[in-house]
Structure 1
Amino acid sequence: MNKFWIIAGDVYKKNVRSVSFLIMLLVPFILGGIVYAAGYFGSQSGEVDKIGITSSSTELAEGISSLAPQDYEFQVIKNQETGEKELSAEKIDALFVVDVGENNQLDGKLYSESSMGQSVELTLQQVLDSIQTNMRAQELGLSMEEVSSLNEPASFEKQSVSFNEAGDMQLGEDDDAFNYVISFAATIILFVFIITYAGIISQEIASEKGTRIMEVILSSTRAQTHFYGKLFGILMVAFTQMIVYAAAFVISYQWLKNLEVVKNILDSISLKGVFGTFLIFTLFFLLLGVFIYAVLAALCGSLVTKTEDTSKVILPVTYLSLIGYLLGIALGSFDPGNIIVRITSYIPFLSSYLMPIRLANETASIQEASISLVILIATTILLTLASAKMYKSNVLVYNDKGLLATLKQSFTLMKNK
């Protein structure tokens, strides 16, 4: 056991003290700072987009100009030729030409030297739609009140319910949207951690095997002890990163909770519902997902003959993780009740991505999540024990014929022992 802690401690200290770990740790904070700074300086900027408007109908151009939102400045221009000259001279940022066709069909074209962004395009589209609706309403003899009543959207509200022992329905607080955000974030975090630490642990093992130091190491310690020590050391590095992010969140929350947007979110959700069973299951699936992929990456790393082949040998880990990520982000987000999502949410390596999303969308019960979690735990234990048993023969096999040939030779060597 003493050798186990020596190996784990050495791996942990070496990786935590590395520059790459520091950079990896700081990247989310740097990105967050850049986004915050961009938003802050963008809101402080007094510049607005100046858009020239011209039309065959001066009244129409002035009507569009009067509907300019706060972030834009509309300027009526007498004709398109004049507008093109002002656009060339950079007196305006874009030129919006509006023509009136048959049946009061408005046709708008936006000219600009560079993209104005989708927000500008959507704003102009909404302005045209509003004016066209009013023009056609006048033709039909409708008043503005009648037009407003036609455009008034229907009321829609989702309500979470539960049933007591008597079968009576009870209304509850609906936290599905917030739970979905948590599961979505967990999916992204899981993918990033898997890709990052799969590469680290496979490189950690492959580097010793590639330099032929492994034979010396195994002469002084058991292969299983070395395997578990390496695996535990890397997992402690990942756990350290999680602790740092959790601490940063707790500290920043003391400041963020006073922001108006955060107050509105907190008022609309039940913290008891969020920080309850759903969050516990999400954390378990996240931690076990990182662990099982780390074991698989360690197994793949032990099959490497040359250190430079590490990136090739962990491709199965990368692709398997990518499948789970894409299923969770794409299919799981838009159709959580899909039969593919239901089935794969019980499959180890994929369930860590999909079951939290199903829980967030309430397409899976706590019992179903428990079954999936038990399957994942059992698979993780079996894979860990099998990988540790194969580790000794794997690290002593040097074969340039590929992963399958190396694995076959390793099995043969293990049987002979």
Structure 2
Amino acid sequence: MNKFWIVLSHTYLSRLKTKSFLFTTALTILLIVAVGNIQTIIESFGGDEATKVAVIDESGQLYESLDESLQVGDADIELENYDGTLEQGKELVSSEELDGLLHIKVNDQQIPEATYFANKVSTAGETDVLEQNLQQLKVAISANNAGIEQATVQEIFAPVTFDKVSLEENAKTEEELNTTRGIVYVMLFMLYIAVIMYGNMIAMDIANEKASRVMEILISSMPPVSQMFAKIFGIALLGITQVGVFVVAGYVMLSMKKDELTGGVFEYFGLADAGISTFVYAIVFFLLGYLLYATLSAMLGSLVSRMEEINQMMAPVIYLIMIAFFIAMFVGLNNPESQVVTVTSFIPFFTPMLMFLRVGMLDIPFWEIAISIGIMIASIALLGIIGGRVYRGGVLMYGKSASIKDFKKALELSKKDK
């Protein structure tokens, strides 16, 4: 047992001191600080300045209505009733004295028609706002020409009252779905990134020790399964350390910017309104998912002798997590009751994402959750047994190795080594 802790601590400490780990940790902390101060950063780049738009109104009647409509809508656009010619206005835009020039005229039916001039129309975000407000003026003018009262027009365009009521006793409300949807987003991305980052880290650690021939000594001094899981838990401890640093940094930032960060993306994720069971399931499925993919990564990493072969050998792991991620993002979040999501949520490599998605967004029987967790635990145990045998033979394999067919050779070597 002492050897297990020696390998675990060595794996943890050696990775903790690497420049790549320190760099990614520091970079992520800077990103957290940047997100917490995003409003200040935007304002420092002049994001709070209103867009200056000159208006040439040939009708002489639409400018005031348009300006009033923009002020009611709280648009960040400052209009100026321009008396010069169209060519003079274009020159002011070209010289960047104005951000844009809006030329308004009316047709024979007194319906407004407009042309907008800017140096780069593709980046002129104000065009949508101006077009929408002119559309409202057009509707009002058309209704007036047809003898329809403005109140009638407003009633026609008012959104229909549409309530959603679930007949099932324990069905989640729309508000609850919105809350859990945000947590599911966080869980999906965290598991996706963790599997790719830490899975590759495990495979690289094993390949590096094989290249230095240290593995031959280790494999003869302790059981291969113990050695494999010592590395898996060592990298897991490293991940917990890194995530812990991020959580502390995020908590400090939230404490400092509590008033400024109320609402927005933080309200969208709904972390404060989620039930404790949701967080418990998130932790359970995250840990089981990590163990499953980490065991597979360690097994595949044992077949690699050179660092440049890792990406090719790790391709199956990446494909599995990508498939689960895409099903969850493009099918599950929009339709969690889909048959595809239901069936794939019981496939071990897809369970961490898809079953947690169903748990968060649906009211499913506990026996389904228990079965999925049982399948994952059994899969981890089975993969650990097979992986231990492959690991024992794989770490003794040298030379070019970039094929899954090397499994058979690794198993044969493990039998001879007993």
Alignment of 1:356-375 (within 5 A): 356-362=356-362, 364-375=364-375
Secondary structure class of the residue paired with 2:61: helix
Question: 2 CA distance for matches of 1:355 and 1:118?
Answer: 43
Which residue of 1 is the match for residue 191 of structure 2? 190
Decide whether aligned partners of structure 1 residues 352 and 90 sit closer, same or farther in structure 2, where only a CA change above 3 A counts.
Answer: same
Which residue of 1 is the match for residue 321 of structure 2? 321
Question: 2 CA distance for matches of 1:50 and 1:258?
Answer: 31
TM-score, normalising length from structure 2?
A: 0.87
Q: CA deviation at 1:257?
A: 5.1
The answer to whether the 8 A contact 2:211-2:305 is kept is yes
After TM superposition, the structure 1 stretch with the greater mean CA deviation from structure 2, 189-198 or 252-261, is 252-261
- Cα offsets for 1:48-71 (capped at 9, x unmatched): 111223354232344323333441
- Code of the residue aligned with 2:412 in structure 1: it is T
- Code of the residue aligned with 2:227 in structure 1: it is H
Question: 1 CA distance for matches of 2:271 and 2:285?
Answer: 22
Decide whether aligned partners of structure 1 residues 315 and 172 sit closer, same or farther in structure 2, where only a CA change above 3 A counts.
Answer: closer
After TM superposition, the structure 1 stretch with the greater mean CA deviation from structure 2, 338-347 or 218-227, is 218-227
Q: CA deviation at 1:133?
A: 1.4
After TM superposition, the structure 1 stretch with the greater mean CA deviation from structure 2, 26-35 or 201-210, is 26-35
The answer to whether the 8 A contact 2:302-2:390 is kept is no
- Cα offsets for 1:130-187 (capped at 9, x unmatched): 1121111112212222222222222334456763xxxxx9998942211110111111
Secondary structure class of the residue paired with 1:235: helix
Which residue of 2 is the match for residue 285 of structure 1? 285
2:67 paired with 1:80: no
Which residue of 1 is the match for residue 414 of structure 2? 414
The answer to whether the 8 A contact 2:390-2:414 is kept is yes
Question: 2 CA distance for matches of 1:178 and 1:131?
Answer: 38
2:237 paired with 1:236: yes
The answer to whether the 8 A contact 2:393-2:413 is kept is yes
The answer to whether the 8 A contact 1:53-1:76 is kept is yes
Number of equivalent positions? 410
- Cα offsets for 1:290-341 (capped at 9, x unmatched): 2211111111110102122112211111121111122222222222222222
Which residue of 1 is the match for residue 59 of structure 2? 57
The answer to whether the 8 A contact 1:98-1:108 is kept is yes
Which residue of 2 is the match for residue 199 of structure 1? 200
The answer to whether the 8 A contact 2:301-2:313 is kept is yes
The answer to whether the 8 A contact 2:295-2:387 is kept is yes
After TM superposition, the structure 1 stretch with the greater mean CA deviation from structure 2, 243-252 or 233-242, is 243-252
Which residue of 2 is the match for residue 295 of structure 1? 295
- Cα offsets for 1:260-310 (capped at 9, x unmatched): 8359988x9896x72332221122111211221111111111010212211
After TM superposition, the structure 1 stretch with the greater mean CA deviation from structure 2, 37-46 or 14-23, is 37-46
After TM superposition, the structure 1 stretch with the greater mean CA deviation from structure 2, 188-197 or 44-53, is 44-53
Which residue of 1 is the match for residue 220 of structure 2? 219
2:146 paired with 1:140: yes
- Code of the residue aligned with 1:243 in structure 2: it is G
Q: CA deviation at 1:363?
A: 6.4
Q: CA deviation at 1:118?
A: 7.3
- Code of the residue aligned with 1:384 in structure 2: it is G
Q: CA deviation at 1:248?
A: 3.9
Q: CA RMSD in A?
A: 3.1
Question: 2 CA distance for matches of 1:216 and 1:329?
Answer: 45
Which residue of 1 is the match for residue 128 of structure 2? 122
Decide whether aligned partners of structure 1 residues 345 and 97 sit closer, same or farther in structure 2, where only a CA change above 3 A counts.
Answer: farther
Question: 2 CA distance for matches of 1:270 and 1:209?
Answer: 44
Decide whether aligned partners of structure 1 residues 54 and 372 sit closer, same or farther in structure 2, where only a CA change above 3 A counts.
Answer: farther
Decide whether aligned partners of structure 1 residues 159 and 359 sit closer, same or farther in structure 2, where only a CA change above 3 A counts.
Answer: farther
Question: 2 CA distance for matches of 1:29 and 1:115?
Answer: 37
Unaligned stretches of 5+ residues in structure 2:
none
- Cα offsets for 1:219-263 (capped at 9, x unmatched): 333323321211111111112223333444444554555558359
Secondary structure class of the residue paired with 2:79: strand
Question: 2 CA distance for matches of 1:109 and 1:368?
Answer: 60
2:27 paired with 1:27: yes
- Code of the residue aligned with 2:99 in structure 1: it is D
Q: What percent identity do the matched residue pairs reach?
A: 26
After TM superposition, the structure 1 stretch with the greater mean CA deviation from structure 2, 145-154 or 91-100, is 91-100
The answer to whether the 8 A contact 1:257-1:263 is kept is no
Decide whether aligned partners of structure 1 residues 252 and 19 sit closer, same or farther in structure 2, where only a CA change above 3 A counts.
Answer: same
Question: 2 CA distance for matches of 1:35 and 1:260?
Answer: 10
The answer to whether the 8 A contact 2:32-2:250 is kept is no
Unaligned stretches of 5+ residues in structure 1:
164-168
- Code of the residue aligned with 2:234 in structure 1: it is G
Decide whether aligned partners of structure 1 residues 124 and 400 sit closer, same or farther in structure 2, where only a CA change above 3 A counts.
Answer: same
Q: CA deviation at 1:36?
A: 3.6
The answer to whether the 8 A contact 2:351-2:372 is kept is yes
After TM superposition, the structure 1 stretch with the greater mean CA deviation from structure 2, 332-341 or 132-141, is 332-341
TM-score, normalising length from structure 1?
A: 0.87
Question: 1 CA distance for matches of 2:143 and 2:336?
Answer: 42
Decide whether aligned partners of structure 1 residues 172 and 197 sit closer, same or farther in structure 2, where only a CA change above 3 A counts.
Answer: closer
- Cα offsets for 1:63-94 (capped at 9, x unmatched): 32333344111123355323211111212112
